[in-house]
Amino acid sequence: MGEKRKQIQQARMWKYFLDASVDLIEEKGLQHITVREIADRAGFTSSTVYNYFQDLSHLKFFSVMRYTKPYINELPQYMEQGTNTVERWLYAWECFCKHSFQRPDIYSLLFIENLGKIPKQLMDQYYRIFANDLVNLSEDIRLIITQHNIARRSSLYIKTAVQEGFMYEEDIEYISDTTMLIWTGMLTNMLNLRRELTQEEAAKRTMDYIYKSIMYTVIPNKRDEVNYEYRKSDK
């Protein structure tokens, strides 16, 4: 019972600090918030923050996980458009690209930046505290969103494409790494102002590269069975 009470207390304190952090991110931007400001906004001291979080970068990581909820909510709708694993994977990538290029700073922090600790451990810790975020999600969706490494999440998901006869086993690691590198490169270029593209243009350009790379690895006599078309965002 004591352990359960401790978990409830931890979740409550996390919520106070994450709420305060998100408010400040909206007001000042991700790169301009401090532990002291977060503590003050939450009504605690800075030392209390460090009782629950290792440092500011980890607090930021947990805070911006909140921003992935729209992506997670829309992901099932995107994947339902596919009739086979390759199509569903393409639509999953489209959903990820559209949301990540709307908030490149957020997704860079989550999936690219060095946080001094294995990000998978941080993500696992977040979902232990906020397990309700996973309620009502299918196993396929959980597999995707709880796996931090983008190449790893792809390789785990598209294994069934081999069983369906769309790909060879030896191509799984290659295409998983390639699609991850395409997205990482485009997002990094946008953040460094090396590409003058709108959010929509960046998402579509990235999906064009990803689609061509994936279709290259699909077994030729199965390519006609892959039907995918990028849809312009309504946002």
Nearest to 172 by CA among 89, 105, 74: 89
Give the pLDDT confidence score for residue 193 in this predicted structure: 77
- Domain spans of the chain? 2-53, 65-225
Rounded CA gap, 95 and 206, in Å? Answer: 12
What CATH code would you report for 2-53? 1.10.10.60
Give the pLDDT confidence score for residue 132 in this predicted structure: 85
Distances (CA, A) of 137 to 129, 132, 144: 17, 10, 11
Cα 40 to the chain's mean position, in Å?
A: 29
The pLDDT confidence band at residue 79, using thresholds 50, 70 and 90, is very high
Per the structure block, which two tokens stand in for 219?
């077994």
Give the pLDDT confidence score for residue 166 in this predicted structure: 98
Mean pLDDT (the chain, rounded): 91
- pTM of the predicted model, to two decimals? 0.90
Triad 177, 152, 135: Cα angle to 5°: 140
Instruction: Please say whether the beta carbons of 235 and 97 come within 8 A.
Output: no
Percent of the chain with pLDDT over 70: 97
Give the pLDDT confidence score for residue 116 in this predicted structure: 67
The pLDDT confidence band at residue 235, using thresholds 50, 70 and 90, is low
Give the pLDDT confidence score for residue 1 in this predicted structure: 47
Residue 78, pLDDT above cutoff 80: yes
Q: Helix, strand or coil for residue 148?
A: coil
Rounded CA gap, 95 and 117, in Å? Answer: 27
User: Measured over all CA atoms, what is the biggest interatomic distance in the chain, rounded to whole angstroms?
Assistant: 63
Rounded CA gap, 128 and 131, in Å? Answer: 5
Position with higher pLDDT, 142 vs 169: 169
Per the structure block, which two tokens stand in for 34?
């401090």
Name, in order, each residue with C-beta under 8 angstroms of 174's C-beta and a sequence gap of 6 or more: 217
- Can you give the C-alpha Rg of the chain in angstroms? 19
CATH class of 65-225: mainly alpha
Q: Which amino acid is at 1?
A: M
Residue 67, pLDDT above cutoff 90: yes
